[in-house]
Each structure stands twice: as structure tokens, then as C-alpha cells.
Amino acid sequence: MSERILVAVAWPYANGSIHIGQTAGAYVPADIFARYHRMKGNDVLMVSGSDSHGTPVTLEAENRGISPEEVFEHYHAEFLDCWDRLGISFDLFTSTHTENHTEIAQDIFSQLYENGYLYTKTMLQPYSEADGRFLADRYVEGTCPHCDFDGARGDQCDECGRTLDAQELIGIRSRLSGDTPIFKETEHFFLKLTAFEDELLDWIRPQAHWRPNVKNFSIGYLEGGLQDRPITRDIEWGIPVPLDGYDGKRIYVWFEAVIGYLSASREWATRRGEPDRWKDFWQSEDAKSFYFMGKDNIPFHTVIWPAMLLGYGGLNLPYDVPANEYMNLEGMKLSTSRSWAIWLPDYLDRYDPDPLRYVIAAGMPETSDSDFSWTEYVRRNNDELVATFGNLVHRVLTMSYRNFDGVVPTPGRLDDDSQALLDEAERRFREVGENLALCKFRAALMEGAMALAQAANRYLDRKAPWQTAKTDRIATATTLWTAMTVINCLKKALYPYLPFSGEKLHAMLGFEGSVADDGWDWSPTDLTSGQSLQKPAPLFQKLDEAIAEQETERIGQQR
């Protein structure tokens, strides 16, 4: 039976370009997962959007002397272009700056208020006389009391990842004027997280399919005791509080951004002309929702958003939160402020999308931090994509094209060696699917698909069809047909990872339409003898090893 799968992907702040860390943390795994489930014939909805509100966007606007709208619109357009070029196949990538999102966020705010889960309280917030305003979140910086990092912000320390209260910052100063703020009383709405502690623990503890790091972190977070959190701010950019008397306040960006998963689903349904379709993913009991993000966002998705959903009522809680650890860069933690990052638009201007998707998936930080290096990128491209998979394809297709009149050869009786390879293909294809369903993307790729590609290469070396071509035409045809059948299996197994080269290979094998339409099943009979092949062309480009050094030197110099 077909399953309903919501693929909910972290919302990037529209205040800067996407970098490879975010790409590895959320976008590539989510896309692999969505493509797999679509091929399986499941009902998939993959949504996200630009997080267009909050102080990250307003600060960037003030730094550049333009409006927050202009900042958001610039990056929103850039994100859409990146998804297109990297093949991230959202069903909808919208933004939080829509009427639809505003209405839904305000509805949830109002319902939580009516249900008794929001209350107002006076608190102290930094206020600058020089700037003439309250300085919310990122408008103040200072030294982190936990790790001594001197660039910690009012809401969080980027160095140690801890959430902070502005009052904890040592040597607090305004990021606008450098002024030392005073702390002044202001009234804000608080989300009563304390009311959900036990319910959340009871929900998380039995989640046997969650990644241990996500589950343990969340349980530790809850056992440490929750505190009610302020969910409004004294700023002008963002979603207004839907109650009278709070004109100068906006809903905190994190509170409304997580609502984006729901509002985007509803927008998608409305755009399709089936306004109730979102309910299939949010209210239907058999629907499963998977949330993809980097580990810094775990508590928002395993604690805060579920608490909001419980308080609102009637909507599904996350089924799984397969958050990734960090993908570092050249042995060091990514830092956008120091520009220690590889920016996605810059990468896509100069290189192909599939090698990046591949290298990210092969080293995906599923259980611990991993590292991206250009040396590793070039090595994996040359040794694995070009030499293992690309070369297998090229050898087999070229020999068949030349020696068998450009068609899929007709095999003779299959010998044991050939049959064993087909059996292995069947087994590995099944394992790839099982691992993909469990969000084990690295294992599905390396232990499943790429191991099969290696086995096919070894088979080819044993059979040496380039020698038998002159002496035994039937044996040669059998070898090439067997190898090509396994290549057709690899095409499907690798398609969620390598959609662009997958389509090229699909056409070279003489198929029409898209790999995606063929479904997630494979049989040796999928490839028909006599089917016309297209003239083979290399799937991947070998890269000059000097690129590794040049690119490493380039890091930190962009933007």
C-alpha cells in the first residue's frame, strides 16, 4: 500500500547564501529521501521556504542600507535557483513572508493563547539609548559565558551552540552603535513549555527508529528541565501579534518559522486547487512526517514544535527527525562570519551538481561530524564516480554499441558467474531501498550501490569481453547483457543521489521518459535485447588534481 510521506526541510534564513554545511545537513538528504519515496509510488510532499523574518534579515538589511524585503527577495530568488541547479526537488519552496503563513501563524498563536499555553510577563531586555530602541537577539553581542567566544549574540553562541539570554553576555554591546545597552522592562508573550515536559518525554522515549544522537540529545534537553520561552520581540519586521495592544511587537522568528511546515503544506494544497489535500499529511493517522535539519536545530523540532502541536491539537507530531551532525570544512568548523564555507551558488557556477550530491552523501554526517575537503572531493569524483561507476558504464555501453550494432545484445544461456552477479544486484537493490527508508543514506550508497558497481567491474575483468569479442560472440553478448542489466539496476539505485547523470544514462540505455517514472523495482527483464542504445558519452568528468589545492586556497576569499 502506498504511504503518505511529509518531507519537512529546515527553512534557511534569507540573509545569506546557502553553504555546503546546510546542503549536507538538510537539503541533499531530504531530496534523496523524497526521490526514493516518489519512485516507490508513495504520496510525497516535500516543503520548505525562506525564513524571511527575524533579526538575521533586518541586521543584514541595516548593514547594507536596504530594506528587509529587498534582502529577503534577493536570497529567496537565489535559493530557488540553487535548488533548481542542484536538483533539490521541492514540491513547494515558499517563504514566511506570505499572507497565508501570516494567517496560519497568527491562528496558532491565538489558539495556544486561548488554550492557556501562552501568557504575558514583564521581562528585562537590552535597550540602547543611543539607538533609541530595544535590541532583540542578534542586535547585541558580547562574550559567551560558557566558552569565552567574543562574538556570541543575544540569542545564541555560534561557537559552542548554546542558546543564551542577552543578560548572560559579558561586555554586552549594540551591534548597531557599539553602545552599551541598559536593561529595561518590556512585556512579552511566553510559551508555556513547562506544561509539555512529561508528555514530550513519554512521546520521545519509545521512538526506537530515531537516530541515537537525536533521541539522546532531546531526552537530555527535556530532563534538564524546560523553561517557558518568550515568543515575541520588540521589532518591526515580522508577523504582528494578533491581539490588541501589542502594535510594536512581532512574533519571534523561531516560533513562526516552524509553523512554516504546516503553512507551506496548506499553500501547496491551495495552489493545486485541492485545498484540503494538506490534511492527508497532517491529520491522517497513516501519514509519516520526516524533518531534515542540522543538529543545531534539533530542540526546535523535537521539543518546541511538538509542544506547539500538542497545545494546538489535531495535527500529527513528527514521525522522525533524522537530523545530521555537522559537515566541517577542511578540518575546521564552518563559519559564515569568517567566510570559512563553500557557497552553493559559487560551486554550481563552476562544477556539476551530481558530484557534490555524491560526495556529500558518501560522507554524510549521520552519526558524527564529518569533513568536506576538496582533496576528498576530487578523489571521490575521480576514483569513485569516474573510475568505478562511470568507467563501468562507458566500457559496457561502448563495447555493446560498437560490436552489437548499437543495440542491447541478446545473451546466451547464463553461466553461474553471470547469474551470481544478477542475484547480487537483486539483493543489493533491496538493501539500498531498506536503508533509504531508514534514512541511512551513506550505507545505501556505499555498502549498497557502489559495492555493486565494484562487483560489476570485477565481473567484467574476469570475463574480459574485449578479448572474447573476437572469438566468442555469444559469450561476449552474455557478459555485456549481464553487465548492462546491472548498470540499469545501478541507474535506479543511484537515481536519488545522482538524478542528472541518472537521466543521461537512462537515455543512453535507450529508454524514454524519466527514471523517476519507472518506479522503485528492478528486474533483469527491464532491459530488452535489441533495444536501441544511444551513442555513449562519459557520465562524469575527471578533475585535475591541482583543483584541490586551488579550491582550498579560495576558501575564505569568497563574499
Q: CB nearer to Zn ion: give 154 or 363.
A: 154
- Cβ(55)–Cβ(137) below 8 Å: yes
Q: Provide CB contacts within 8 A for 214, sequence distance 6+.
A: 295, 298, 302, 321, 322, 323
Element (H, E) at 230: strand 229-230
340 near Zn ion, rule: CB under 5 A: no
The amino acid sitting at 355 is P
Q: CB nearer to Zn ion: give 151 or 242.
A: 151
Cα(329)–Cα(327) distance, rounded to whole angstroms? Answer: 7
CB atoms within 10 A of CB 33: 23
At closest approach, how far in Å is the CB of 305 from Zn ion? 24
At closest approach, how far in Å is the CB of 165 from Zn ion? 13
Cα(382)–Cα(538) distance, rounded to whole angstroms? Answer: 13
At closest approach, how far in Å is the CB of 224 from Zn ion? 17
Per-residue binding string, Zn ion, 477-496, x by CB under 5 A, is: --------------------
At closest approach, how far in Å is the CB of 151 from Zn ion? 9
At closest approach, how far in Å is the CB of 452 from Zn ion? 45
Joined together, the cell numbers standing for residue 137 give 537577539
At closest approach, how far in Å is the CB of 83 from Zn ion? 32
At closest approach, how far in Å is the CB of 163 from Zn ion? 10
β-bridge mates for residue 542, sequence order: none
| Range 205-234, binding Zn ion (CB under 5 A) | none
β-bridge mates for residue 126, sequence order: 183
At closest approach, how far in Å is the CB of 336 from Zn ion? 16
Element (H, E) at 153: strand 152-153
Residue listed under C-alpha cell 513519554: 202
Integer CA distances (angstroms), 486 to 449, 463, 479, 536, in order: 10, 15, 11, 17
- Cβ(203)–Cβ(288) below 8 Å: no
Counting every residue, how long is the chain?
559
Q: CB nearer to Zn ion: give 107 or 159.
A: 159
At closest approach, how far in Å is the CB of 365 from Zn ion? 21
Using DSSP, state whether 119 is helix, strand or coil.
Answer: strand
Q: CB nearer to Zn ion: give 157 or 257.
A: 157
Q: CB nearer to Zn ion: give 143 or 529.
A: 143
- Cβ(358)–Cβ(336) below 8 Å: no
CB atoms within 10 A of CB 250: 21
**Residue among 507, 487, 481 at smallest CA distance from 429:** 487
Q: CB nearer to Zn ion: give 145 or 556.
A: 145
Q: CB nearer to Zn ion: give 157 or 487.
A: 157
Per-residue binding string, Zn ion, 95-134, x by CB under 5 A, is: ----------------------------------------
Q: CB nearer to Zn ion: give 151 or 510.
A: 151
Q: CB nearer to Zn ion: give 326 or 343.
A: 326
| Range 130-149, binding Zn ion (CB under 5 A) | 144, 146-147, 149
Q: CB nearer to Zn ion: give 85 or 146.
A: 146
- Cβ(174)–Cβ(135) below 8 Å: yes
β-bridge mates for residue 49, sequence order: 94
Per-residue binding string, Zn ion, 145-184, x by CB under 5 A, is: -xx-x-------x-xx------------------------
> How many chain residues bind Zn ion (CB under 5 A)?
7
At closest approach, how far in Å is the CB of 156 from Zn ion? 9
Cα(494)–Cα(491) distance, rounded to whole angstroms? Answer: 5
- Cβ(141)–Cβ(151) below 8 Å: yes
Give residues in contact with Zn ion (CB under 5 A): 144, 146-147, 149, 157, 159-160
